[in-house]
Amino acid sequence: MAYFSRRFLCSCFLIAASTAASFGQMEPQIDKANPEQREPEGAADRLEVVVVFYDKETGSLKVSQRADDSPLSDGFIKALAGARITGWNTNGVKLNLKLFVACGLADSLIDLGAAYSDYGGDYESLSKFAKLEVLDLSFTDSTNEVLPALKKMPNLRSLYLYGNEAIDVKLLDIVSGMEKLELLDIRGTTLLRESEPELKRWKKKHPDVLVLASHGYGIDRGGKTIRSSDP
């Protein structure tokens, strides 16, 4: 695990691209003459911490940003274009999913954690992340409009929708088609509050899915209530 300022991390990626064989497909470039890729004025004076985990076995990266950091600049994210990034975890920051798609991150990410973050209700861009296995949209003000995007994620194993009150019983139709789903977090949703009979019927048809249905608790594979880890 390493801690970098935004500027240093960009340099680190550039060096890794030319020296490490495991980054063979990564060719990030920063054109300082291009105003779209230059750091915003005053960025050099801010220390914005990003945590990067490197998986030696797969040669992939996982990026994590602290909740109290400001959004990463577009130029920084563009510098990651071509990198094999499989995980991106943010908490309480603004996400430009259109830029993620343009930089190819939607093609490599299998784990996207966006709890408490603002992705602008960009469900169209979210639908491009078809390879995701883990998606955390807790407390993102997501509505049923996210359902068509979720339908395009057949590999999802864990789906966290905690705190999105507008999500209702229509979600069950979508997750019914997720054959690999193992965990579904619906705490704080209208589905849990108003559609308990429908949820119980769904659980009988999908006994292998762990449903987190109240703070700190879930419904296990046998239909009993068990203790689960708090988020």
Identify the pLDDT of residue 33.
52
Residue 182: which of 126, 120, 133 has the closest Cα? 133
Q: In what order do the strands lie in the sheet with 183-185?
A: 2-4, 50-55, 60-65, 85-89, 111-113, 134-136, 158-160, 183-185, 210-214, 217-219, 225-227
Task: Give the whole-angstrom CA distance, residue 122 versus residue 142.
Answer: 10
Contact between residue 209 and residue 174 where contact means Cβ atoms under 8 Å apart: no
Domain range annotation of the chain:
2-227
pLDDT 10s per residue in the chain (231 long)?
444 444 334 434 432 333 232 333 333 344 445 544 444 444 444 444 567 888 888 888 898 876 555 667 788 788 888 889 999 998 888 899 999 999 999 999 999 999 999 999 999 999 999 999 999 999 999 999 999 999 999 999 999 999 999 999 999 999 999 999 999 999 999 999 899 899 999 999 999 999 998 754 454 444 444 444 433
Distance of CA 192 to the CA centre of its chain: 23
Q: What is the architecture of the domain spanning 2-227?
A: Alpha-Beta Horseshoe (3.80)
Identify the pLDDT of residue 78.
87
218, containing H or E segment: strand 217-219
Identify the pLDDT of residue 40.
44
Identify the pLDDT of residue 59.
84
Identify the pLDDT of residue 214.
74
Contact between residue 162 and residue 139 where contact means Cβ atoms under 8 Å apart: yes
Identify the pLDDT of residue 54.
84
* Cα distances (angstroms) measured from residue 132 to each of 67, 177, 213: 22, 15, 23
- Look at the block and give the residue holding tokens 């500027």: 7
3-state secondary structure string, 125-166? HHCCCCCCCEEECCCCCCCHHHHHHHHCCCCCCEEECCCCCC
Q: How many CB atoms lie within 10 A of CB 96?
A: 18
Identify the pLDDT of residue 45.
44
Phi then psi for 139, rounded to 5 degrees? Answer: 55, 50
Sign of CA dihedral 210, 156, 167, 115: positive
Residues 6 or more apart whose CB falls under 8 angstroms from that of 120 comprise 94, 95, 96, 97
